[in-house]
Structure 1
C-alpha cells in the first residue's frame, strides 16, 4: 500500500497566500496614491478642501452603484443597464414631483421602480437562463428610450427649497450628503458581502452555481436578487443626481455603466464571478474619479481625457492580472 507523503509547509508561503488574496486591492491602492501624488505635484488646487469635497460629491453616484455592481459581478453576471436606470428614475422622479407628489413619496416610488426594474431583469436572466449581458443590454436601450420619450429630451426642473435638494447639495458638518450616502452604502455592502450568509451565498453561486444549488442554496433567487439591489442602487443614484442638479434629465448618466464596471473590475472583483471585494471597488471608484478630476485641473482636453482615462484603466487592470498570475504560479511552485 502506498503511503501518503506529507511535506512541511514552506516558510513564507503564508505571506504569499496573503499577497495572493490581497494583491489586486494592494496594487490599486498604490496606483491611487501615485495618482494623488502626481496631481498634487502638478497642480496646487488638487489637494484643496474645496476640490476634495467636489471629488467626493461627484464620486457618490458612481460608488453607490458600483457597490451594488460588485454583487452582480460576484455572481458571474453583469448589469449594463445601470446608466439607463439612473436616467429613467432621475427623470421620472422630477416628473412625479412636478405633478405635485410630495418628495418623500416620490423618492419611495422611485426606489421601488428601480428595484422593480432589477427584479424583471433578474427574472429573465436567472429563471429564463438568458445571459445577463443580453438582458441588460436590451434594458440599456429600452429604459433610455422610455426616459427620452417621457421627457421629450428636455430637462424637467424640480422646485427648490422643498427639502429634496438636501440629498444632492446639502452638507453635514461640511461633508457633502451624497458622500455620506455613498459611505453608508459602502458599509452596508461590505458587511453584507463579508459578514452575512447572503454574502457567502453570492460568492458560492458565482464560484459554481450548480454546486451551490446542489448544496441547497437558492441559486436562482440569489442571481435574481443581485439585480434588484443593482436597480435600487441605480434609482438612489438617480435621486442624488436629480437633487444635486435640481432637475431630471433623460440624458443623465451617459456612459455611466462603463465607469461603474471599470471601478468594480479595477478593484479586483473577478468578471468570472466567485471573487469580490468591496474595499477594492471603493478604491477603484476613487481612482477613476481622481483621474477625471486631476486631468481636468491639468487643463487636458475633455476629448483627450477619456482616452487617457481608458488607457490608464486598461494598463492598471492588465498589471493587476499579471501580478495576480505570477503570485498564483509562485504559490503552486511551492506546493
Structure 2
C-alpha cells in the first residue's frame, strides 16, 4: 500500500518537475537575450526621463534610420564571430564604398550599376580576407586588421582626404533619405536584411554549420561539411553588408568621405557581443544582436540629447557598454553553472 502511494506521488510530481526543468532550460538558453532586452529598456527609460525629446516620434525614427548601417553589418558580423572569427575591416570597407559611390556617380555611371559594382567589390574584399583566414589559416584578427589599414588607405588615396559630393537630384540619394509608408527606407532595408539573416542563422543548415564551426570545427569537418568554404562565405557576407552600409551612408549624407566609419567596427563588435554572441565562437543570436545594436544607437542618441560634452561621450558610452557586457557575461556564466 505504501509502495502504491509512493508510486502515485512520483507519478504526480515527475511531470511538474519536467515542466519546471523545461522552463528553466528555456530561461537559461535565452538569458543573454533577456538581459540585453532589460538593459535596453532601462536605457530607454533613463533617457526618456532625462530628455523630453527622446520618446518623440521624429527622434525614434531618426534613431532607426541612423542605426540601419549598424544593424545590417552587425547581423552579418554575428555569423563571423559565431565561427570564432572577427572582421575589423568593416569600417574601412564602408568608407571605401561610400567614397567610390560618390566618385562613380560623378563619373556618370547609372546608380543601379554603381550599387551592383560596389556590392561586388564588398564581396571580393570579404572573399580575399576570408581566403587567408579559411585556407591559409592566418588568424582573422591579423588579416582583417591589415585589411582595415589597407582599405582605408585606398579610400584616402582616392579622395586625398576630401569628401566627394553626390548630386542632390540623383535618385541614388533616395536610398538614404526617402520614406515609405512613414518609415525611412534605410530602416526597411535593414529590416529585410535582419529577417533574411535570422532565417539563415536559425532555420538553415548553413546557420547550423556556422555555429558548429565555432563550437567544434573538426567535428563539423568530419561530418562532411566544407568548413573552409563556410568560413570564407561568412566573410563574403560581412564584406557585402559593409558595402551596403557605405552605400546607405553616402546616400543619406549626400557625399562620400574616406573618413566615414571611423570606429564603426568597434560599434559593430560591441553590438554583437552585447547581444550575447560569444567572442570565442559557438554561440550567436540575431535577436540579441538587434537589441545590442539598438542599445548602442540609443546610448549615442541619448547622450547627444542630454547635451553631454562630445569629449566625454565616448568615455560614458564605452563604460556603459562594458558594464552591460559584464552583466550579460555573468548572467550567462551563472546559467551555465546552473546546468
> Partner of 1:148 in structure 2?
156
Could you give the per-residue CA deviations for residues 74-133 of structure 1, whole angstroms, max 9, x where no partner exists? Answer: 110000000000001110111111111111101100000000000000001000000000
Correspondences of 1:168-207 after superposition (within 5 Å): 168-207=176-215
* 2:293 is the counterpart of 1:290: no
SS at the partner of 1:288? helix
- Aligned counterparts of 2:338 and 2:120: Cα–Cα separation in 1: 48
* 2:258 is the counterpart of 1:250: yes
RMSD: 1.0
- Aligned counterparts of 1:62 and 1:319: Cα–Cα separation in 2: 23
- Aligned counterparts of 2:129 and 2:337: Cα–Cα separation in 1: 38
Contact 1:118 1:231 (8 Å CA) reproduced = yes
- Aligned counterparts of 1:329 and 1:127: Cα–Cα separation in 2: 36
> Partner of 1:310 in structure 2?
318
Q: How many angstroms does 1:60 deviate by?
A: 0.4
* 2:33 is the counterpart of 1:25: yes
Q: How many angstroms does 1:64 deviate by?
A: 0.5
Q: How many angstroms does 1:293 deviate by?
A: 0.5
Equivalent residues, number: 324
> Partner of 2:336 in structure 1?
328
Contact 1:16 1:327 (8 Å CA) reproduced = no
Could you give the per-residue CA deviations for residues 166-195 of structure 1, whole angstroms, max 9, x where no partner exists? Answer: 100110011111111111110011000001
Correspondences of 1:114-263 after superposition (within 5 Å): 114-263=122-271
* 2:53 is the counterpart of 1:48: no
What 5-or-longer segments of structure 1 have no aligned partner?
Answer: 1-7
Could you give the per-residue CA deviations for residues 115-173 of structure 1, whole angstroms, max 9, x where no partner exists? Answer: 00000000010000000000000000000000000111110111122210110011001
- Aligned counterparts of 1:172 and 1:114: Cα–Cα separation in 2: 27
Q: How many angstroms does 1:214 deviate by?
A: 0.5
Contact 1:85 1:143 (8 Å CA) reproduced = yes
Correspondences of 1:57-136 after superposition (within 5 Å): 57-136=65-144
Could you give the per-residue CA deviations for residues 232-280 of structure 1, whole angstroms, max 9, x where no partner exists? Answer: 0000000000000111100000000000000000000111111110000
Q: How many angstroms does 1:330 deviate by?
A: 1.8
SS at the partner of 1:164? helix
- Aligned counterparts of 2:147 and 2:81: Cα–Cα separation in 1: 17
> Partner of 1:5 in structure 2?
none
- Aligned counterparts of 1:77 and 1:323: Cα–Cα separation in 2: 24
Q: How many angstroms does 1:19 deviate by?
A: 1.4
SS at the partner of 1:217? coil
Provide TM-score, normalisation by structure 2.
0.94
SS at the partner of 2:243? helix
Q: How many angstroms does 1:15 deviate by?
A: 2.1
- Aligned counterparts of 2:166 and 2:320: Cα–Cα separation in 1: 38
Q: How many angstroms does 1:325 deviate by?
A: 1.2
- Aligned counterparts of 2:325 and 2:24: Cα–Cα separation in 1: 20
SS at the partner of 1:165? helix
Q: How many angstroms does 1:13 deviate by?
A: 2.3
Q: How many angstroms does 1:229 deviate by?
A: 0.1
Provide TM-score, normalisation by structure 1.
0.95
